[in-house]
Structure 1
Amino acid sequence: MAGATRHLLNRNGRFFARLVVPKDLRRIVGKTELRSPLGPDRRTAMKNLPGAVAVLQDQLARAEHQLAASGSRPIQPGRYPLAPEQIAARHYAQRLAFDDTLRNDPRWPSMVIDDQHVADLRAAIAGTLDDARLAALVGDQVERFRYVGNHTAESGSDEWRTIARAVAAGELEALTRAAERDEGDFTGQPAHPMIANAQPPEAAPDPVSLSKLWNDYIKARVQAGFMRDGGKRMQPVQESLRKHLGHNDAARVTKKDLLEWRDLLLVNLSAKTVSDMYLSAVRSLFKWAYENDRLPGNPASMVKQPKPKKQRARESGYTDAEAVEVLKVSRSYKPKADKFGRIRETAKTVAAKRWVPIICAFSGARVSEITQLRKEDVRQEGERWVIRITPDAGSVKVGDYRDVPVHRQIVAEGFVEFVKAAKPGPLFHTGTDPEKFSAKAVRMTNTVGTWLQDAGLVPPSVLPNYAWRHRFKTQARDMGADIRVVDATQGHAGRTASDGYGDVTLIAKARVIDALPDYDLT
């Protein structure tokens, strides 16, 4: 509600300080929310609200530490950081709230103020007490603020002394108010500038569900034409991050959290995987959340992992001799029967091993783009046969369809007859549900790659699913082909803004495809 005061609740004309108890603390607190009565007068309620909220937050902090002690949540030092003046003001407010509680109990007599104690507090504020006397005076209170996460100062440090002096100021001011109240004066205000001018701590941001944020991010990416798998490939990233954090609140994620997560990932994963998959996904998630006002900042923007430059010992694609050897084995492939004479491979697998390598050799396509081909993706235009690589059949990296002319040697090998004899639907996998075509095609891609490696046809450091793409690009450069046409044939994104103007036609693509020499497979 616009204009509402945070943590102030009005119920039937009476005001309360109210804090919602986080779900994981409700078992310890025993409630879903905490309330503290502030009376029927709004002005008085507003005056007493900070002190009441401080008491309630202290109760939640203690419950959080109890949960941490049980091993259910890691302790996070400095979870609720406060400046020294804020600590002084909070201590002052808590002491006055405690004074109110005591005055409501008729059994409690009026408090007698120790003059020596007051003198020690003034010496502490002036900075004339040594660490030992300062610790004896307010050390317990300073430790309590550290315990509930308001600071991380080490005992005896300059920061610790500053906080101790601030607590002493709050204590002395509270004692002064208590003495005034004993005389019936409840109008006193703190005189020490550290307390009088203290700014209230910024309200903790409302929790932002990390899992919901992730789902909304995935939905936005899918709607924009990305992540056609619905984010399944990236799901382990979110699960790994949540497991490391120990909570599901994206608003609590810090750069330090992400750096620690990165370092843990590097124990079992390569720098490339951590950088290109895990950190890349998280940077994109938090960038989207920040740009769409779901989070006030982006803690992942500068969380990166350097990758060692890959050392190449040879060309990335197949050489002429290697290409010929692969195509010969593919051309003559026949499945082996087991000891009972049964063929375990499906006809689709046999067809993939027969046709996928040669189609990749003359198209430069990704193997998975060929394993997902359907009968309806192969057509004839005039005397030219064409295959259409389309997201309707599975996954296309750049998102758009593209037509690729079929090389004459593929036709001569009998591919057209194979397509004509096939049933409608996928040519190289057994999927029947279009929603699962992509996964089926990837599985067949892996099957073909493993078969080539097991047959000793893939040299070390060569990736079987990319070797044909590298070779195609190399051949095109050797022929002096227009690289924009080659990119359009292979499905590579344009390199400059001018590449988006005009169309790369089948005629232009066919000129490149037809220039590729036949392979001698005899």
Structure 2
Amino acid sequence: MTSHIKRRGSTYYAQIAVPLDVQTILGRKTMDRSLRTKDPQEAKRLLPDVLKEWHRLFDDAKRGITIVKEQRRPLTNAQMAARVYKSETALDAELRKQDHRYAIAEIDADEARRFRDGFAGRLSNDELAELVGDRIERFRTVGHHDYAPNSPEWRALAQDLCAARYEAMAREAERAEGDFNGKPSHPTIASATPEPEKAPKGETIIDLYDRYARENAKGISADTLTQARRDVKLFADTIGNIPPGKITGRHVGEWKDLLMQYPVKAAEIAAFRGMTMRQTIKKNETVKKPTISDRTVNRYLSAVGAFCDWLVLRGYLERNPVTGLHQSIDKTKRSTVPFTTDQLNTLFASPLFTGCQNDDDWHKPGNHMIRDHRFWIPLVMLFSGARPGEIAQLAVSDVRQEHGIWIMHITEEGDGDKSVKTKGSMRVVPIHPELVRLGFLKYHAAIKEAGETRFFPNATRNKRGQMVADFSRDFGRYLTRIKIKSGRGVSLYSFRHGAADALRRAGHLDEQFGFILGHTSHTMTGRYGVLPQGMLQQRVDLVNSIAYPGLKIDHLAD
């Protein structure tokens, strides 16, 4: 391969000998082309595509594909220039796809100037031949024209091809800075490069998503729809304002490639504020934030996929372009893991539970006792497996006695802006004896006597409508501060995973306790009465079997 790379000055060129049997057809003994780079490694990466193009040319010539003007209508100079522009920008896109750090934009400024001078008519015929002579020869070979070398027609075409290559350089430079919206300004190239079709007013991707969300035929929770809208908007902003019916698997595949380079919680990081997805990825080369997991990539794809299912039903698409593009996940590996007993004991002996300096400095020991949702949510999750948002939104009336048994009614019904993940997530969960021992019912009595309607009045939603999302984020940071967490692994949701493992440890099968965790489908039986499904005593037995050998929490008892 390296024998086909030559260096002229500081720039590397590709070069190959033309086979003897096609030299008379092509009218030359060698082919050469600037690779537009000073980096030898980058030159090696660019070389294969150039060689493939030349070998296709040789094969065409050998097969006698020399279509004469009478057999095929010749292309105009503008059309030939547009083909060069398209092939140059497509090469940049392909190389960028293989390695997102790649940027042709690091071009020799002198070479860019030569192409600019070429289409401005300031270069000699020999200089034009060096820059674009091989392209002119290619067009002549396949019968698009037969301009005599150095004729006025030949020179006019050479200048248009210089314009095409300079315009391609401009796009590559823009892309390296994260701007993928550039268009050719040279009139010859612009006239032959049609504007992409745009979605009509009221029919954009996000317009149709809003219609899909309003219809909500599957009863998806408001939080999930809001999150999915952000995911779909990121997709729409990235692929451009195309009609929804024009979404293809290629659009989704290229977006997936970007997702796999996308930083975790990019929207919340000041360094990425106001940036497009591609600009964010480019900036992260220096910021070096961790990228999202394969599971999160799949969450983004699922949001777009569910919307595309609706587009198929409504006749906008023939098939779902997301199908088959999800990342393969090893389900034996969990991104979130349960706490170990030692970790739990360390956590419950830490300042958040035993006394801290103040509401803001949880990690510093002190005499201030926190007994609001921040204290109770981890404990309730540990002994019920409920989600943090489900617990945080409880009304005082949702904690009550049924048939002499204290229960939590997890529901979207009642006053306030309550929601559940799915309709099937509405359920009744008996209160574990350990929570009673720790003072949960005493807290209930006190909050009820105070006249509150919400069980945890200080628990709030963030700007995105997510219940206690800020606490969930801060809790993860707290785990790092008290040296329980390092990187990914444990989080607030580790309590939920721990409850599931405790139920398995007690001998229950997943299908026997899934409804306690809210892993049920919505059925007619869930629409009537207090209990969506199952008998209350069965639930009591399940919840009471949640136990953690070696757990030390006696000091938390009120």
Specify the TM-score bucket, using the shorter chain as the normaliser: 0.5 to 0.7
Equivalent of 2:456, from 423, 428, 431? 428
Amino acid at match of 1:288: W
C-alpha displacement of 1:416: 0.9
Partner of 2:553 in structure 1? 521
Report the CA distance shift for 1:388/1:477 in structure 2 as closer, same or farther (over 3 A).
same
Which of 438, 443, 455 is the aligned partner of 1:413? Answer: 438
Residue type of the alignment partner of 2:433: R
Shift of the 440–471 alpha-carbon distance from structure 1 to 2, 3 Å rule, reads: closer
Give the alignment's TM-score, normalised by structure 2: 0.51
Q: Which has the higher contact order (CA 8 A, sep 6+)?
A: 2
Paired residues for 1:67-216 under 5 Å: 131=67, 133=69, 138-140=73-75, 144=79, 208-216=203-211
Residue pairs, 1:382-401, within 5 angstroms: 382-392=403-413, 394-399=418-423, 400-401=425-426
Aligned ranges for residues 7-46 of structure 1 at < 5 Å? none
Asked if 1:443 is matched to 2:464, the reply is no
Please state how far the C-alpha of 1:225 moved relative to its aligned partner. Answer: 1.3
Aligned length: 345
1:418, distance to aligned residue in structure 2 (A): 0.9
Does 2:316 align with 1:279?
A: no
Change (3 A) 1:337 1:467: closer
Instruction: Give 1:404 deviation, angstroms.
Output: 0.9
Q: SS in structure 2 opposite 1:267?
A: coil
Report Cα offsets for 1:195-220 as digits up to 9, x if no partner. Answer: xxxxxxxxx99954322211112222
Identify if the C-alpha distance between structure 1 residues 205 and 248 changes in structure 2 by more than 3 Å, giving closer, same or farther: closer
For 2:389 and 2:430, how far apart are their aligned partners in 1? 18
User: Are the counterparts in 2 of residues 388 and 403 from structure 1 also a CA contact under 8 Å?
Assistant: yes
Measured against aligned partners, the alpha-carbon deviations of 1:479-517 in whole angstroms (never above 9, x if no partner) come to 22354442121112379xxx99x9312200111222344
What amino acid maps onto 1:445 in structure 2?
A: S
Aligned to 1:300: 321
Distance 1:312 1:488, change over 3 A: closer
Identity of aligned pairs, percent?
A: 19
Structure 2 residue ranges without an equivalent (≥5)? 1-63, 88-134, 147-196, 263-290
- Paired residues of 2:427 and 2:518 also in contact (CA < 8 A): yes
Tell me which of 480, 488, 501 is aligned to 1:474: 501
Paired with 1:339 and 1:234, the residues of 2 have a C-alpha distance of 32
Write the letter of the residue equivalent to 1:424: E
Given residue 266 of structure 1, which amino acid in structure 2 is its aligned partner?
A: M
Structure 1's 494 and 321: CA in aligned 2 closer, same or farther, altered over 3 A?
farther
Equivalent residue number for residue 288 of structure 1:
310
CA distance in structure 2 between the aligned counterparts of 1:218 and 1:390, rounded to whole angstroms: 21
Q: 1:509 to 1:158 in 2, by over 3 A?
A: farther
Native 8 Å contact 2:198 2:243 kept in 1: no
C-alpha contact 1:255 1:303 (8 A) present in aligned 2 = no
Conserved 8 A contact 1:431-1:437: no
Q: Confirm or deny: 8 A CA contact 1:405 1:509 kept in the other structure.
A: yes
Question: Is 1:356–1:370's contact at 8 Å kept on the other side of the alignment?
Answer: yes
- 1:324 paired residue among 340, 345, 363: 345
CA deviation map 1:405-444 (0-9, x unaligned): 11112112211111111142333353689x9896343333
User: Structure 1 328/159 Cα, relative in aligned 2: closer, same or farther at 3 Å?
Assistant: farther
Question: Which residue of the partner structure matches residue 249 of structure 1?
Answer: 243
What is the CA–CA distance in structure 2 between the aligned matches of 1:483 and 1:309, rounded to whole Å? 18
Give the residue type in structure 2 aligned to 1:235.
R
> Contact 1:348–1:428 at 8 Å: present in 2 too?
no
SS of corresponding position for 1:480:
coil
Could you tell me whether the CA contact under 8 Å between 2:199 and 2:244 is conserved in 1? Answer: no
For 1:378, give the aligned amino acid. Answer: V
- Note the C-alpha offset of 1:279: 2.1
**Distance across 1 between alignment mates of 2:380 and 2:397:** 16
Q: Aligned pair in 2 of structure 1 residues 274, 373: CA closer, same or farther (>3 Å)?
A: closer
CA distances 1:47-87 after superposition (whole Å, capped 9, x unpaired): xxxxxxxxxxxxxxxxxxxxxxxxxxxxxxxxxxxxxxxxx
In 2, Cα distance between equivalents of 1:456 and 1:291: 50
Q: Which of 1 and 2 has greater Rg?
A: 1
The alignment's TM-score, normalised by the length of structure 1, stands at 0.54
SS in 1 for 2:226: coil
Q: Kindly indicate whether residue 252 of structure 2 is the aligned counterpart of residue 258 of structure 1.
A: yes
CA distance in 2: counterparts of 1:159 and 1:205, whole angstroms: 37
Give 1:312 deviation, angstroms: 5.0
**2:408 touches 2:428 (CA, 8 Å); kept in 1?**
yes
Return closer, same or farther for 1:299/1:419 CA change in 2, 3 Å cut-off.
Answer: closer
| Farther-moved stretch of structure 1 (258-267 vs 325-334) | 325-334
Q: 1:133 to 1:503 in 2, by over 3 A?
A: closer
8 Å Cα contact 2:204-2:242 kept in structure 1: yes
Cα 1:226/1:378, change in 2 over 3 Å: same
CA contact (8 A) 2:339 2:490 kept: no
Deviations 1:63-120 (A, max 9, x none): xxxxxxxxxxxxxxxxxxxxxxxxxxxxxxxxxxxxxxxxxxxxxxxxxxxxxxxxxx
1:404 aligns with 2:396: no
Q: 1:317·1:471 contact (CA, 8 Å) conserved in 2?
A: yes
Q: Higher mean Cα deviation, 154-163 or 420-429?
A: 154-163
| Structure 1 gap segments, 5+ residues each | 1-127, 165-203
The aligned residue for residue 236 of structure 1 is 230
- 1:306 CA displacement: 2.8
